[in-house]
Amino acid sequence: MRRKKLLKITLYAALTIGALLCCVQDASARETLLISGNADLYPIESYDSHSDSYVGLLPELYRRVSERTDYDLVYLPYSKNTTQAQQAENRQADIISAFPAGTVDNAYLRRSELFCSLPASGKPQNICIGFASALPEAQAEEIARALDGIGAAERLGILAVSVKDGGASLYRTRWLVTLAALGVMMLGAGVALGVLVRKKRAELKANALIDPRYGIGNDGYYLNCMETLIPAPLRNIVYVICIGCDMPSLERRFGETEREEIFSRAAEYLRLGCGREEYLACVGRGMFALVCQCGSREAAQQRAEGLIRGLDGYLAGFRAEYAGAFRAGICSLSENPDCGAEAALYNARQGCALAFRTETPCAFSTRGMIDESEQLERLRGSMSKAVEKGEFEPYLQFVVDRTGTVVGAEAVSRWQNPEEGLLKPSKYIDLMIRAGTITELDLYMLRCACVQLQTWKREGRGTLWLSCNFTRQSIADEKILVRVREIVEQYDFTRDRLVVELTEDSYAHDREAALRTIEGLHAMGLRIVLDDIGAGYSSLSDLSTYPIDGVKIDRSIVTESALPRARALLEGMIRLSHDMGIRVLCEGVEDKATCDAVLAAGCDFIQGFYFSRVLPGREAESFLRSLAARDREEG
């Protein structure tokens, strides 16, 4: 008897495991179709906020169609800001459910089916189900047949239950049936698990394609469109247009809250202006991508210019200062046949940056930009181990005082890449910031500076100081003070000879973290200088906020110092700094006229090609020796 019972239990267990495996395997093979639902058509279809789901006749019909076909029919997340017509226009859904006839443009539908007629203001109102134009005809036909296959009697039964208690008993009944099935045979557990797996995967897929802030696609939606919705024969007429803004400028002028409002307004305008054969997505903060089809390069430029001019006018209607906040960059897939989705977006972004630099509404990405993007991809692959391998070299640019005597230098990095050769910081700093490896480079350059200061002290040049740069990620690193102390304590030099330059973005975004770090560095005996004062993020209040020893005035102000107003600005900044006990260095001095101007303005130190170019280590030592020999001769 016990053997028979054990055999029976084993058989049930085997059947259950087999069912589980089959369900999971089946779940992974099914395709998800997204539904744009009608939230206000009770009892046909409506949105229930308590259960965060659609209820009524149609949701139950879709559930049964899912059980009888190879498709998972899943509703898009409910959004108050997006209508069914907009979701059809933006190609966010495969099925437009329960929409009144005439509310959705037939141009965006492959076909529509009359579902029922309801009385409305004394007249019958036709309720339709539409299939998006992007949905293949065979799939649309199969779903339509499956819906038609559910008979009138079955539909009336579903509707009666839904009307009776708003759909709640329908779901309770479904789970009671499932529980009863579990009681009869454990095989039901496998079926339920399979359904849950399919539903969860489908929901995740739907949510992953939508930006909930703006009701349009996100970067995943952009990639999906580029990779699956554009046939190969049409790539020659496809253009990627990147609509972007100057983020730092918007933050300075309007603040974070108003900046987000500008983004929302821009998204609204672009969504309303998205054409039939176009795909729109938000691909970053204040950055949108439009995938469109144009017959020529000129037509693509006209489309981009029209977007920017229209967007300027739209934003100016809310506030005149909003105009000019956005520019556009264009990448042609016909000119870049091997360009993938991410590379096309990158190239379009470079065109957008070029449009800002040239102050034009839009600009195409150039061959040079594309070559640069390919180089960046190569650098990204070798960057993670570059610091560890010692591929970065310290270069020095010397600084002089008002008499022309060398008093110190700035240490800057150069990457001796085995494949690309010697690279300047502009080629890799932003890349390392995005990859999160910039702190390792900052600390590496700090160590190089300590080594150099120790060498100078042993050679009798202990009065020279040396500066190195720290970026935002380094300042925000919770362990930065501990790591700096560990490095500095390994070397013998006078601590105030080491100067830490803080780039503007390092202290403007997280002022509390910057203040803690600056105070900690000061406590070690190091000196602090704020870099690029007068441009970008900084303000004059920073001079009183942070316990600093010096400032470097941005080269954009220095190079214009021959002009009366620029000279007045320079003199005012230097005088204010001196009144606060802060010493001033002017960088970017490249000729005698500029040198005379900054000296007349009262600066304390000068840096630039007029006195010293950026020198590798050996040349820097030769430079110092030649100065020492000249001083001995003159002495």
25 band by pLDDT with thresholds 50, 70 and 90: very low
Q: Which pLDDT belongs to residue 230?
A: 82
Q: What is the mean pLDDT of residues 312-318?
A: 93
Q: Which pLDDT belongs to residue 15?
A: 56
Residue 302 has pLDDT above 80, yes or no: yes
Q: Which pLDDT belongs to residue 157?
A: 63
Q: What is the DSSP code string of 72-141?
A: EEEEPPP-TT--HHHHHHTT--SEEEEEETTSS-GGGEEEEEEEEEEEETTEEEEEEEEEETTS-HHHHH
Q: What would the pLDDT profile of 491-520 be if each residue is shown by its tens digit?
A: 999 999 999 998 765 554 567 777 888 899
d(CA 493, CA 441): 22
For the domain made up of 216-365, give the CATH fold: Alpha-Beta Plaits (3.30.70)
Q: What would the pLDDT profile of 349-366 be if each residue is shown by its tens digit?
A: 889 988 988 889 999 987
Q: Which pLDDT belongs to residue 107?
A: 81
Q: Which amino acid is at 17?
A: I
Residue 407 has pLDDT above 60, yes or no: yes
Asked if 395 and 413 touch (Cβ cutoff 8 Å), the reply is yes
Residue 426 has pLDDT above 90, yes or no: no
Token pair 């309770």: residue: 172
User: What average pLDDT does the structure give for the chain?
Assistant: 82
122 band by pLDDT with thresholds 50, 70 and 90: low
Q: Which pLDDT belongs to residue 182?
A: 47
Minimal CA–CA distance to 149: which of 55, 44, 58, 64? Answer: 64
List, by residue range, all CATH 3.20.20.450 domains of the chain: 378-634
Asked if 93 and 62 touch (Cβ cutoff 8 Å), the reply is no
Q: What would the pLDDT profile of 195-236 be if each residue is shown by its tens digit?
A: 555 555 555 555 578 888 888 888 888 988 888 888 888 888
32 band by pLDDT with thresholds 50, 70 and 90: confident
d(CA 109, CA 521): 64
121 band by pLDDT with thresholds 50, 70 and 90: low
Cβ count within 10 A of residue 205: 16
Q: Mean pLDDT: which of 120-129, 525-534, 581-590 is highest?
A: 581-590
Token pair 């441009």: residue: 535
C-alpha angle with apex 176: 174 to 182, nearest 5 degrees? 110
Residue 160 has pLDDT above 70, yes or no: no
**Over pLDDT 70: what percentage of the chain?**
82
Residue 152 has pLDDT above 80, yes or no: no
**Over pLDDT 90: what percentage of the chain?**
36
Quick one: how many helices (H) and strands (E) in the chain? 23, 25
The superfamily CATH assigns to domain 378-634 is: EAL domain (3.20.20.450)
**0.85 cut: is pTM over it?**
no
Residue 186 has pLDDT above 60, yes or no: no
Asked if 551 and 529 touch (Cβ cutoff 8 Å), the reply is yes
> Thinking of the domain 2-207, which architecture would CATH place it in?
3-Layer(aba) Sandwich (3.40)
Contacts of 530 (CB under 8 A, 6+ apart): 501, 502, 504, 507, 538, 542, 543, 546, 548, 550, 551, 552
Residue 313 has pLDDT above 90, yes or no: yes
Residue 20 has pLDDT above 60, yes or no: no
Asked if 201 and 252 touch (Cβ cutoff 8 Å), the reply is no
Asked if 290 and 280 touch (Cβ cutoff 8 Å), the reply is yes
Q: Which pLDDT belongs to residue 561?
A: 82
Q: What would the pLDDT profile of 460-497 be if each residue is shown by its tens digit?
A: 999 999 999 998 778 878 899 999 999 999 999 999 99
List, by residue range, all CATH 3.30.70.270 domains of the chain: 216-365
Q: Which pLDDT belongs to residue 175?
A: 43
Token pair 């590379």: residue: 343
Asked if 114 and 78 touch (Cβ cutoff 8 Å), the reply is no
Q: Which pLDDT belongs to residue 621?
A: 93
Q: What is the mean pLDDT of residues 143-148?
A: 87
List, by residue range, all CATH 3.40.190.10 domains of the chain: 2-207
Q: Which pLDDT belongs to residue 23?
A: 46
Q: What angle do the packed helices 152-165 and 168-184 form, to 10 degrees?
A: 110
Minimal CA–CA distance to 305: which of 364, 225, 231, 369? Answer: 364
Q: Which pLDDT belongs to residue 614?
A: 95
Q: What would the pLDDT profile of 530-551 be if each residue is shown by its tens digit?
A: 887 766 555 566 777 788 899 9
Q: Which pLDDT belongs to residue 452?
A: 96
Give the start-end residues of each E strand in 383-434. Answer: 392-401, 406-417, 421-423
pLDDT-wise least confident of 204-213, 252-261, 384-393? 204-213
pLDDT-wise least confident of 5-19, 89-103, 474-488, 503-517? 5-19
379 band by pLDDT with thresholds 50, 70 and 90: confident
3-state secondary structure of 240: strand
Q: Which pLDDT belongs to residue 27?
A: 44
First and final C-alpha spacing in the chain: 115
Contacts of 412 (CB under 8 A, 6+ apart): 394, 395, 396, 397, 425, 445, 469, 614
Residue 571 has pLDDT above 90, yes or no: yes
